[in-house]
Amino acid sequence: MDGPDLDLLFADGLPGGRLLFANAAPHRALLPARDRLVCVQRWKPAADALARAGLAVGEIEGTYDAAFVRLGRQREVNRAMLAAALDALGPEGELRVAGTNALGAASYARDLRTLGLAPVSRSKAKARVFSVRRGTADPAAWRNLAAPRVIAGTRFVSAPGVFAWDRIDAGSRLLADAIPADLSGIVADLGAGWGYLAHAALARCPAIARLDAFEADAVAVDCLRANLASFGARAKAHWHDVAAGIGTGTCDAVLANPPFHDAQGEDRALGLRFVAVAAEALKPGGRLLLVANRHLAYEAGLEARFSAAARLHEDAAFKVYLATK
Ligand SMILES: C[S@@+](CC[C@H](N)C(=O)[O-])C[C@H]1O[C@@H](n2cnc3c(N)ncnc32)[C@H](O)[C@@H]1O
């Protein structure tokens, strides 16, 4: 994988010793160090890409000689990631951080200065890299910024960085309201987030024997497990890339509030891929319930793969479909 921030992160080569890479992505510079490198990655498609490149994906364990951090979109998540990287370094360890200018990379160098550090910074091709010796900086204020917490006014837990992490998504709420009470057997939720929709389905439909909640974000999967725990064996959360498929002819119903963004921006093909995966997973006669932003065109995809498709609801923002295999 390329990117101006990734290239800049490794432009000066790799230091010796044990290496940590947080929010990791494959890069050719990493291959010679693969035996002394651990990559941390919560997003399953990116974790799968690292594994395909022959790079080990795991958790932070023990002390490292250098830590690389690739900044993401969410400020709390980035600060917590910087804290975790600093905590994983010995006093002489190097912290090296890169991000695109669009993510406000320079502001994180300023953040490090508030800890008494003096990062050395360089920018090129709309990205910035900065590095610093760990010293004795104490990132206490950042450690718990991305920790799971209860969403105000609910019994659900979520965490910064998870989709719609601090609220019930309006599209998921609309779809939940449209779930027929007679859903039964094996049901899948594609892109289950922290679990609002999955929870609503299990609570409304006593004949659901098992609901498999598939989600790419590992932190969301932790929240799913907590939010669906009261359903015991009726609920199972999977850290999984839905685009890779979920099986053939195994489901009685599928629920989906598909994503239309990936890490790079709007990606309409991903939503259509969710429709194809749902069609493949359903038994004959099985039902797909899908909500989509109004501006997205799912009609042709539904008509091509299902014997019938009806619009159950439409408003200024969303459309809800019921399609039968
Ligand atoms: C529009 S949200 C739906 C959230 C959820 N259904 C709810 O009840 O609020 C789409 C979800 O799909 C997840 N997602 C995106 N790409 C994915 C992929 N390739 N595989 C699995 N999940 C994915 C996102 O992380 C996000 O949680």
Q: What is the tens place of the pLDDT at every residue in 62-101?
A: 999 999 999 999 999 999 999 999 999 998 999 999 999 9
Q: Is 318 in the pocket of ligand 1 (CB under 6 A)?
A: no
- The pLDDT value given to residue 134: 94
Instruction: Calculate how far, in angstroms, residue 109's C-alpha sits from the geometric centre of ligand 1.
Output: 31
Query: pTM higher than 0.85 for the full model?
Result: yes
Q: Residue 281 above 60 pLDDT? A: yes
Name the residue of 162, 204, 217, 238 whose CB sits within 8 Å of the most ligand 1 atoms, as the mutation to test its pocket: 217
Looking at residue 296, its pLDDT comes to 83
Whether pLDDT at 3 is above 90: no
CA 320 to chain centre: 24
In tens, the pLDDT along 231-259 reads 999 999 999 999 999 999 999 999 999 98
Please report, for residues 41, 68, 209, 235, the alpha-carbon distance to residue 57 in angstroms, rounded to integers and kept in the order given.
7, 14, 33, 26
Tokens of residue 20, six digits: 């940590």
- Ligand 1: does its nearest atom lie under 6 Å from the Cβ of 193? yes
pLDDT digits (tens, 9 = 90+) for 256-277: 999 876 555 556 789 999 999 9
Instruction: Give the atom of ligand 1 at the shortest distance from the alpha carbon of 195.
Output: 8
Interval between CA 199 and ligand 1 midpoint (Å):
15
Contact 243, 45 (CB under 8 A): yes
What is the reported pLDDT for 2? 67
Q: How many CB atoms lie within 10 A of CB 232?
A: 7
pLDDT tens, position by position, 20-63? 999 999 999 999 999 999 999 999 999 999 999 999 999 999 99
Cα–Cα–Cα angle for 27, 240, 280, nearest 5°? 120
Is the Cβ atom of 148 under 6 angstroms away from ligand 1?
no
How far away, in angstroms, is 152 Cα from ligand 1 center? 21
Q: Please choose from 199, 239, 257 the residue to mutate so as to test ligand 1's pocket, defined by most ligand atoms within 8 A of CB.
A: 257
Residue 224 has a pLDDT of 98
Report pLDDT for 265: 55
- Separation of 163 CA from ligand 1 center, angstroms? 7
Q: What are phi and psi of 111, to 5 degrees?
A: -55, -45
All domains in the chain, ordered by first residue: 4-143 (3.40.50.150), 149-324 (3.40.50.150)
DSSP 241: -
Centre of ligand 1 from the C-alpha of residue 222, in Å: 14
Q: What is the mean pLDDT of residues 121-139?
A: 94
What is the average per-residue pLDDT within 149-162? 96
Nearest to 189 by CA among 211, 174, 220, 209: 211
Question: HSE of 232 in the Cβ direction (CA atoms, 13 Å)?
Answer: 2
CA 220 / ligand 1 centre spacing (Å): 9
Cα–Cα distance for residue pair 73/129, rounded to 1 Å: 16
Which residue, among 25, 55, 27, 29, has the nearest Cα to 42 in the 3D structure?
25
C-alpha distances in angstroms, 79 versus 149, 153, 192?
17, 26, 26
Regarding the beta carbon of 104 and ligand 1, being less than 6 Å apart is answered: no
Distance CA 189, CA 172 (A): 11
Cα 191 to ligand 1 centroid, rounded to whole Å: 3
Q: How far is the CA of 264 from the centre of ligand 1 (A)?
A: 15
Contact indicator for 60, 120 with CB cutoff of 8 Å: no
Convert 297-324 to b/e letters by CB count within 10 Å (16 or more is b).
ebeebbeebbeebeebeeeeebbbbbbe
Which of 156, 157, 163 for mutating ligand 1's site (highest number of atoms within 8 Å of CB)? 163
For the packed helices 196-204 and 170-178, what is the interaxial angle rounded to 10 degrees?
20
Task: Measure the CA–CA gap between 21 and 29, rounded to whole angstroms.
Answer: 12
What is the rounded distance in angstroms from the CA atom of residue 10 to the CA atom of residue 106?
Answer: 18
Residue 52 to residues 57, 87, 136, 138, Cα–Cα distance (Å): 11, 29, 37, 36
| pLDDT tens for each residue of 161-210 | 999 999 999 999 999 999 999 999 999 999 999 999 999 999 999 999 99
Cα–Cα dist 117/308, whole Å: 62
